[in-house]
Chains A and B, each alone.
Chain A
Amino acid sequence: MIEVKNIEKSYSGKVVVNIPELTVTAGEAVGLVGNNGAGKTTLFRMILDLIRPSKGKVYSKGLNVAQSEDWKEYTGSHLDEGFLIDYLTTEEYFKFIGDLHGLTDGDITERLLPFMDLFNDEILNQRKYIRDFSKGNQKKIGIAAAVLSNPELLILDEPFANLDPSSQIRLKNLLRNLREHKRMTMLISSHDLSHVIEVCERIMILEKGQLVQDMQTNENTLRELETYFTV
């Protein structure tokens, strides 16, 4: 699904991401963990063609993301509030995204059904603009919008941040459902080790722009990660 080849990004001589080789196969859920400044978001931005890599290329389904725009059809993503059109109401925003993918109002309502628990009656029919929602609720809107098009590839940057404990658990279950029923490929970064392990079967640790560990999740993973991050 995603192939990263020899990618490197440096700002004024300082290398922030350097990944010689990374492959994500279709249906795989990959969790990306690492401390602040490890380069998680930068890597995601390069995969989404938002930053031009200093070196190397990213291929999505074999096509270079910087040259072809086909990946936009099957990729859903939410990195930060910059992905939201904040002067729209939630309904308008979902409708806009739905229209881009040729969804009817009925489709949108149906696809949002699994989100009703997560939304907790705080998202829809609120009669306010997205910019007036709290950070946590903005995150929920962004994630729902990313999933709305039923993408084959879902990229989320710290989806659990800013969410209350109940919402975190609901989101975790939601993501697992998407994995099981839709076989969605996922790239998720998170600071919450236990959640990301429960959603993802493969965990990668990024440190100072380098991929230092790449492992399959098993019952010992959490302990290994905690040992790794204990300074």
Chain B
Amino acid sequence: MLLTLLSHQWKANYRSSVFQKSVALNIIMGLLILYFGTIFLVLGFTLGNILGKVAPGQSAVALFNGALLFYFLIDLFFRFLMQELPVLAVQPYLHLPIRKSRMVHFVLLKSVPSMFNLVFLLIFIPFMFREVIPAYGTGAALAWLFAILALTLLNNFLLIYFKRLLSIKPILTLLFGLAVAGLLLLNYLEVFSLFAVSQVVFGAMMEMSWLAAVPVLLLLGAYLLNYQYLIAHTYPEELAVREKTNVEGKGIAFLSRFGELGKLIELELKLMWRHKRPKSMLMMSVFFIFYGLLFYPNDTYLDGFAWLIFVGIMLTGMPMFNYGQFVPSWQSGHFDALLTRRISPYQFYAAKFWIFVPVALLAYLVTLPYGFFGYKIILVNTATLLFNIGVNVFVIFFFSVYNTSRLDLSKGSAFNWQGVGASRFVMMLPMMLLPVLIYLPFKFFGVPYMGIAAIGLVGLIGFVFQKQLLQWSANWFLKHKYKLATGFRQE
């Protein structure tokens, strides 16, 4: 029976239009998996040496054990942000003679073979072979790995449980989050050392292998907790994560001053706020603010300009790119309505434009503190901001007419490839390359600062001629609207 359900799931995935349509996307995904997989594997094999260099004289395994608890806590946090709740569309099965317990087991077990649970084995297993087995013997090493695996799955089931409770008993989830944060805080305040605790706990497991049974028991407990909860709530209405709250229809008074344009902007903001996908996309954009930390502290990046331009475009433009890649698919659910109502394509695009400009400006202001790493950053980011709102906006609009697949707004955006077309990847190229191309000749003639000014100037010119460019975007859209409408009508 479980196998039948599994085959249904497989068919649902395999036959979904996303999977079948975009071979290119699957190839890109495959390459990404291969890339990160290789990185993790290499890391797993070399971690012993790296740790030996960082802290010479100490046992690599002891250091690794000390970090494990941190790893599990951070793992929980990332799962909370990104992991989706496993759901089987149970509705079609409920009226059939299938035992509920089987379905619940299926839904739960389905979450095990996920990337979150498996990818880090690529680090743990090579590390075990290189470091743990030579030092402690095979039996202890296997117990150690077994414990880690059990704890990973414990994380998996704990998270699923608390994330599910989030919509029903948010207090419990909040308490759980506070407990995790409290542990990290206590460690920070040096009340006790998580590092030492972690070392003792995992060290003990290597000494006394039977202790590995403890995490397994915890795992069983978490599994049962989930099981009890789900078996009591197998009604589709209760399984659905959507909260049934009373909604208040509120307008944004400030926007009504801008007439029809303000109306459209308000509508778009409501769209963002009332759907899961745009909301989670906004959350991810917020995290992207920290992208600069990868580059700016490193002097090699600060010396030249090309990298700074790249980072500047990303920092001031990321929220815009994230949202813009699905223009106008966001409206795919009611696209026919927009076409038959008194809304001109010009207004439609002008509304998007006036959402993007303040957002880019906000991203620019929020990332201004990076200026502490060097005044150059502020110069470059100002130029890239202008370029984003004067040129890249219209690059987005140009590519927008190729987004002909319907977008499902009710799913989260992490690892969600539904509605993602190849145009999205092509779109990034001109947005990244154009400013660098503008800059290069100036660099060649030894006046790099003029190059930065030129990027800003080109952006400014685009911004000044926004009316004409928007009109052009609207006409471009009109040429493609039938194709878009047809694409969006296909579920």
Interface residues of A (CB under 8 A from B): 48-52, 69, 72-73, 75, 77, 79-80, 82-89, 91-92, 95-97, 99-101, 127-129, 132
B248 within 8 A of A: yes
B275 within 8 A of A: yes
B81 within 8 A of A: no
**A84–B342 touching, CB < 8 Å:** no
A-B contact pairs, 17 of them (CB 8 A): A48-B340, A50-B485, A51-B482, A69-B344, A72-B340, A82-B334, A82-B488, A85-B334, A86-B333, A87-B270, A87-B275, A88-B249, A95-B249, A96-B267, A97-B341, A99-B260, A100-B263
Which single residue of chain A is at the shortest CB-CB distance from B271?
A87
**Nearest-Cβ distance from residue A73 to partner chain B, whole angstroms:** 6
Whole-angstrom distance between the alpha carbons of A128 and B267 in the complex? 16
B238 within 8 A of A: no
Whole-angstrom distance between the alpha carbons of A51 and B486 in the complex? 7
**B246–A127 touching, CB < 8 Å:** yes
Contacts of A97 in B (CB 8 A): 341
**A100–B270 touching, CB < 8 Å:** no
Interface residues of B: mostly helix, strand, loop or mixed? helix
Contacts of B334 in A (CB 8 A): 82-86
Shortest 8 CB-CB contacts between residues of A and residues of B: A52-B482, A127-B246, A83-B337, A89-B249, A92-B249, A87-B274, A85-B334, A82-B336
Which single residue of chain B is at the shortest CB-CB distance from A67?
B478
Contacts of A85 in B (CB 8 A): 267, 333-334, 337
Among B271, B341, B409, B486, the residue within 8 A (CB) of A100 is: B341
**B339–A49 touching, CB < 8 Å:** yes
Beta-carbon contacts under 8 Å, B403-438 to A: 409
Which single residue of chain A is at the shortest CB-CB distance from B409?
A87
Whole-angstrom distance between the alpha carbons of A86 and B260 in the complex? 20
Contacts of B336 in A (CB 8 A): 48, 50, 79-80, 82-83
Beta-carbon contacts under 8 Å, B233-281 to A: 244, 246-249, 251, 260, 263, 267, 270-271, 274-275
Which single residue of chain B is at the shortest CB-CB distance from A69?
B344
B467 within 8 A of A: no
Number of A-B pairs whose CB atoms are under 8 Å? 78
Contacts of A88 in B (CB 8 A): 249, 267, 270
From known contacts A72-B341, A87-B271, infer whether A82 and B333 are also in contact, taking CB-CB under 8 Å: yes
Among B247, B251, B485, the residue within 8 A (CB) of A129 is: B247
B335 within 8 A of A: yes
Contacts of A69 in B (CB 8 A): 344
Contacts of A127 in B (CB 8 A): 246-248
Contacts of B274 in A (CB 8 A): 87, 129
Whole-angstrom distance between the alpha carbons of A100 and B267 in the complex? 12
**Nearest-Cβ distance from residue A194 to partner chain B, whole angstroms:** 29
**Nearest-Cβ distance from residue B369 to partner chain A, whole angstroms:** 36
**Nearest-Cβ distance from residue B409 to partner chain A, whole angstroms:** 8
Contacts of A79 in B (CB 8 A): 336
Whole-angstrom distance between the alpha carbons of A27 and B260 in the complex? 31
Beta-carbon contacts under 8 Å, B283-338 to A: 333-337
**Nearest-Cβ distance from residue A45 to partner chain B, whole angstroms:** 8
Beta-carbon contacts under 8 Å, B469-491 to A: 482, 485-486, 488-489
From known contacts A82-B489, A127-B248, infer whether A73 and B342 are also in contact, taking CB-CB under 8 Å: yes
Which single residue of chain A is at the shortest CB-CB distance from B275?
A87
Which single residue of chain A is at the shortest CB-CB distance from B246?
A127
Whole-angstrom distance between the alpha carbons of A99 and B263 in the complex? 8
Beta-carbon contacts under 8 Å, B83-110 to A: none
- Among B244, B260, B337, B488, find the residue whose CB has the most chain A CB atoms closer than 10 A: B337
Contacts of B271 in A (CB 8 A): 87
**Nearest-Cβ distance from residue A78 to partner chain B, whole angstroms:** 9
- Among A72, A77, A99, find the residue whose CB has the most chain B CB atoms closer than 10 A: A99
Whole-angstrom distance between the alpha carbons of A29 and B321 in the complex? 48
From known contacts A52-B482, A87-B270, infer whether A100 and B247 are also in contact, taking CB-CB under 8 Å: no
**A82–B341 touching, CB < 8 Å:** no
Whole-angstrom distance between the alpha carbons of A73 and B344 in the complex? 11
Among A51, A84, A87, A95, the residue within 8 A (CB) of B337 is: A84
**A50–B339 touching, CB < 8 Å:** yes
**Nearest-Cβ distance from residue B48 to partner chain A, whole angstroms:** 53
